[in-house]
Chain A
Amino acid sequence: MIQLYNVFKTYDGNIPALVDISLLIKEQSFVFVTGASGAGKSTLLKLLFGWERFDSGQILVKGMNVGKIKKEKLYLLRRHIGVVFQDYKLLPNKTVFENVAFAMEAIGASSRSMRYKTSDALKSVGLFKKRDSNPMQLSGGEQQRVAIARALVNNPAILLADEPTGNLDPDISLEILKLFEMANQQGMTVVFATHNHELVRHANYPFIILDKGNVVRP
């Protein structure tokens, strides 16, 4: 469960990025966040995993009061959340397998569970065969699959996706969307930010429209 109450966020010396946002995202739901570029989609996601701090209001994620978490303890929140970005954020000096295993390593998983869970995650995105490739040799769609496997591998309760199809062709975008739907069917809460109306229309999920930092009621 994700709850926001009257959340305000303004970056230093800028116009407000989020204005009085209140919303509720139910557990195991799939929600789109849409809006034009600069509407505040990325900011909203960043607030949810504690990457940016907000000015006022309250955010609850998995029962945690995000604004109250000390920065040394933010890792506890983030271990419930997997994040996927438009630019994949893969490490070029590691193989596909190592990139996914990296997420388990970072939270101190044992090497044995690392081996089979990483393999499972790669299989679930259909890239197990390319596990020893360098990610830079893969297509954009494949790179995004690796990034999704990395987000899934720790089996988080929440999956945040910030324009994950922003750099991809429409048919590839649909394949990527399917992966998130699959994760959602397995019980993950998915928050999917995109300005691609095609995608939003294609899948019939609830959506939140942002406009200049305000929630617009559809």
Chain B
Amino acid sequence: MFYSKHLNKALDNLKSNPQTSLISVSTFAAAFCILGLFMVLYVNLDSLLSTWSRQVQIIVYLKDDLKNPQRKTLEALFAKNPQISSVEYVSRQAAWENFKNTFSAETEFLQSLDFNPLPASYNLRFKPGPNRVENIRLFAETLGKKSEVESLEYGEKWISRFEKFMIFLRVFLLAVGGLLSLGLIFIISNTIKLSALARKNEIELMLMIGATHRYIKTPFLLEGALQGAAGAVLALLAAKGVHGYMSFQFSDSIAKIARDADFLFIGPSGILILFGVSVAVGWLGSYISINKVLNMENGS
């Protein structure tokens, strides 16, 4: 009841200066669309990262002519690590066959090689878990010191580089979001200030009659929040449109990069955050300006 009255007032305000309202809503929409697209990028890179890190394995290349007991000590070491989900032994022979199968086009060159240059190896896969990449790195370090091991190959380096990049991207997103929000707070506060100044007489009267500050402010706060909400809805629709267009136009290349993972849109929590932030920004912007206008009034 209390709020429906204020809501009507807020809608009246919006309607009574449509140009400024339209400008601030579309500025909101543009800014949050940009932010939304960054979030789409982030969401997809994040899902790529988790797909890839799920595939991280250690390949342990063995020294040539390793004897069975020496292999057993390594296998015992693997068995002791609870994080390892599977161990696959690839003999020199099997490796060579694999290699030849993969590069069958180059058979002429391969046939000219009359010895097997490939070492035997173990493929270690790890169980999923929060510290998977760190665990893999630690175990790889232990293995690297073993005399039986010729060399190791694992994705730790680029995975952790990728993870660092994701942290950077997150900070970047927050920074961009923060800057855009600041700009929007400024814009909204200007719009609401115009709206409040257009109703200066009314505000003055309300103060004289004995309206509470809360009563006077609420319609303007709602007006700002509504503008934020409208901007967010438009932004999400636009971002969804861009997302749809891109997944249609670039489906092939996306499939290649992402190895058949889907091109994701922002999830429900992301949408909620975007919406919440824009409503909060609209509210905050109008809060600042309506307080300023009220303080300008004498008698308030």
* Residues of chain A having any CB pair with chain B under 8 Å: 46, 49-52, 71-72, 74-79, 81, 83, 89, 91, 102-103, 105-108, 154
Contacts and interface: CB of A to CB of B under 8 A. Distances in A.
Given A75-B210, A78-B208, A108-B215, A52 B201 contact: no
Nearest to A46: B299
A107 B211 contact: yes
B212 interface: yes
B205 A102 contact: yes
Given A51-B298, A52-B298, A71-B300, A91 B212 contact: no
Contacts of A107: 209-211
A49 B208 CA distance: 8
A50 B299 contact: yes
Contacts of A154: 209-210
Contacts of A77: 210
A78 B2 CA distance: 21
B202 interface: yes
Contacts of A52: 298-299
The list of the 3 closest CB pairs from A to B, nearest first, reads A78-B210, A51-B299, A79-B210
A143 to B, nearest CB: 14
Contacts of A75: 207, 210-213
Nearest to B2: A108
A79 B213 CA distance: 13
B206 interface: yes
A50 B299 CA distance: 6
A76 B300 CA distance: 12
B201 A78 contact: no
Nearest to A106: B211
Interface of B: 2, 5, 201-202, 204-213, 215, 298-300
B88 to A, nearest CB: 73
Nearest to B5: A105
Nearest to B297: A51
A143 B201 CA distance: 16
Contacts of B207: 74-75, 78
A71 B210 CA distance: 11
B150 to A, nearest CB: 78
A103 B209 contact: yes
Contacts of B206: 106
A93 B137 CA distance: 73
6 contacts: A52-B299, A74-B300, A76-B210, A81-B210, A91-B202, A106-B206
Contacts of B215: 106, 108
Given A89-B201, A91-B201, A91-B202, A106 B210 contact: yes
Given A52-B298, A79-B209, 6 more contacts: A46-B299, A72-B213, A75-B212, A106-B211, A107-B209, A107-B211
B1 to A, nearest CB: 9
A198 B209 CA distance: 30
Contacts of A78: 207-210
Contacts of A74: 207, 210, 299-300
A3 B208 CA distance: 20
A160 B151 CA distance: 95
Contact of A106 (B201, B209, B299): B209
Nearest to A99: B205
A102 B199 CA distance: 14
Contacts of B298: 51-52
Contacts of A103: 209
A174 B5 CA distance: 39
**Most A CB within 10 A of own CB, among B2, B205, B208, B215:** B208
A7 B151 CA distance: 93
Nearest to B12: A93
A3 B32 CA distance: 57
Contacts of B204: 89
Contacts of B202: 91
Nearest to A103: B209
B291 to A, nearest CB: 12
Contacts of A89: 201, 204-205
Contacts of A102: 205, 209
A46 B212 CA distance: 18
Nearest to A92: B201
B200 to A, nearest CB: 11
Contacts of A51: 208, 298-299
